[in-house]
Chain A
Amino acid sequence: MQALELKNLSKTYSNGFVALKGIDLSVEEGDFFALLGPNGAGKSTTIGIISSLVNKTEGEVKVFGVDLDVDSETAKSFIGLVPQEVNFSQFETPEQIVVNQAGYYGIERELALLRGEKYLRQLDLWEKRHEASRTLSGGMKRRLMIARALVHQPKLLILDEPTAGVDIELRRSMWDFLTKINEQGTTIILTTHYLEEAESLCRNIGIIDQGELIKNSSMKSLLGQLHIETFVLDLTTAVTEVPKIENFQMKLLDSMTLEVEIEKQHSLNDLYSSLTDKGIRVCSMRNKSNRLEELFLRLLEKN
């Protein structure tokens, strides 16, 4: 079953700006899907249309087979949204925010309080449940929006840059939480500018640029398209000139650091033995940039 199906989705804003140019996209039930694209590509507009915050110009949106235009209440009940910007009342407490949200979905207060407790505890907000939400830190506000989106137990969770501006420790704990939610059967659509996040969490990926879907494939097959990887090698002793080794493009970043481009058909073993022959020893190595980031930039350049 498809959790989400977009057909020919278009949006032209009243000022004439064309945000989406007929997007076709489908996300399978249970998937962890990354929707990527540069700023202004149309990701948030797409999410806005799916979650009924933006009026579409044309096209069709189906959530678990239910057409948003035909039965919007059922379609909406399947979706939980974590928006990019904080959008709760700063005067309410986390508990009020979560319980009120449950109320909008028709969940009685007693059950809403239980669900609220469950998610506020899971997201480490239980101790803050009676404090005005304006006093929460940025990371807590993000987690509160996740708790609020989950309180009606949606089948499809949409997260629009949920970890923007969140420190790395918290980001990783949010990754663990989302992975667990996904394993329990919730389909997740994630937009993020941290491509490392998308690479480690998501199984499938769609890339939007200038209102068009320029890529829609599995993460594995997309990464498989990367023919060249760039590594940075830290050396144990200083070198004065770039070593010449057949099949490997090299650049000296400084006397102790080498940058090497390696094509897919060549192995790192060949590189290491050639460097050893030249008396150069490597103490550590790393990718120059995230693999997905390299592919992403290349795709955008091509587009």
Chain B
Amino acid sequence: MKYWVAYKTIVYKEVSRFVRIWPQTILPPAVTMTLYFLIFGNLIGSRIGEMGGFSYMEYIAPGIIMMSVITNSYSNVVSSFYSSKFQKHLEEMLVAPVPNWVILAGYITGGVTRGLMVGFVVTCVAMIFTQLHVHSMLIMLLTVLCTSILFSLGGFINGAYAKSFDDVSIVPVFILTPLTYLAGVFYSVDLLPEFWRQVSLFNPILYMVNAFRFGILGQSDIGISAAFLVIGGFIAVLTWAAMWVLGKGAGIKD
């Protein structure tokens, strides 16, 4: 029971933090993604024609939604955890009898909540431009949930090791964004030459984008079970790593 209270407290604190600053957290992705739909979907997409049997706008919508979920889940946890470390109010939790798994679960729930909330807003934006017919609600929801958990975990580890605000932005700018753009958000990997198609298979975000696209359009470049295996594997490894970081106090304690 006391763990439940502690968990609720962390989640409440996390959610109220990003809701309080919604013009910085919820609004920008909606604006950015509107521009993606306008420029890539509407202006350029009309010249591209169909992709995978769908209009270009329909084809890119799942990837764009997933891109916003990934970015926001990650950045919520990395910025929140790093600033609580930087401003030292993380100590409030560390001195209290809160088990590490409760701390982790609280932060991850915060990241997932923001990821899903932004995903929902971007989905609403997408529906202004195109119609989305959900092929499998279960796969769609499971993919978006697992992906936001995965990137919240990544953000947590980044936040723990970050020593400055530069370290907080390095991973999203130099790793996350390129990987997302190269994960078949705007194209099918089947269009790539064989060598680059094989290289793309090493990009984990490709599996998430395609699993989500399957959930909505029923079309994917990747097998769904392979996609869930990759997502599940990454979640397991990152959970272990995050628990190790908390247990050792690496990057957190002196």
Contact = CB atoms under 8 A, between A and B. Distances in A.
Interface of A: 13, 48, 51-55, 72-74, 76-77, 79, 81, 83, 85-91, 100-101, 103-109, 148, 152
B5 A76 contact: no
Contacts, number: 79
Given A52-B253, A83-B88, 13 more contacts: A55-B249, A72-B97, A73-B97, A76-B95, A79-B95, A81-B91, A83-B91, A87-B89, A89-B87, A103-B12, A104-B6, A104-B97, A105-B6
B49 interface: no
B240 interface: no
A120 B92 CA distance: 18
B9 A104 contact: yes
A105 B91 contact: no
10 contacts: A13-B254, A53-B253, A55-B248, A79-B95, A81-B91, A100-B12, A103-B12, A104-B6, A106-B1, A152-B96
Contacts of A90: 87
Given A52-B94, A73-B97, A88 B89 contact: yes
B47 interface: no
B95 A81 contact: yes
A107 B98 CA distance: 12
B254 A53 contact: yes
Counting from the closest, the 5 A-B pairs by CB-CB distance are A106-B2, A103-B9, A104-B96, A87-B88, A73-B97
A84 to B, nearest CB: 10
B12 to A, nearest CB: 8
Chain A binding surface SS class: loop
Contacts of B84: 89
Interface in B68-109: 84, 87-89, 91-99
B89 to A, nearest CB: 5
B163 to A, nearest CB: 13
B165 interface: no
A72 B84 CA distance: 22
A86 B87 CA distance: 9
Contacts of A148: 92
Contacts of B253: 52-55
Interface in B1-43: 1-3, 5-6, 8-10, 12-13, 17, 20
Nearest to B4: A106
Given A53-B254, A91-B20, A103 B95 contact: no
For B6, B10, B89, B97, the residue with the greatest tally of chain A CB atoms inside 10 Å of its CB is: B97
Contacts of A87: 87-89, 91-92
Contact of B88 (A73, A85, A105): A85
A5 B69 CA distance: 49
A148 B95 CA distance: 12
B85 to A, nearest CB: 11
Nearest to A11: B254
Nearest to B21: A91
A100 B13 contact: yes
Contacts of B96: 76, 101, 104-105, 152
B5 A103 contact: yes
B110 to A, nearest CB: 14
Contact of B5 (A83, A88, A107): A107
B155 to A, nearest CB: 19
Nearest to B93: A104
A73 B254 contact: no
A40 B93 CA distance: 26
Nearest to A51: B95
A48 B94 CA distance: 11
B220 to A, nearest CB: 43
Contacts of A54: 253-254
Contacts of B13: 100
For A81, A103, A148, the residue with the greatest tally of chain B CB atoms inside 10 Å of its CB is: A103
A53 B95 contact: yes
Nearest to B83: A89
A105 B92 contact: no
Interface in B138-176: none
B25 to A, nearest CB: 14
Contacts of A55: 248-249, 253-254
A13 B254 CA distance: 7
A49 to B, nearest CB: 10
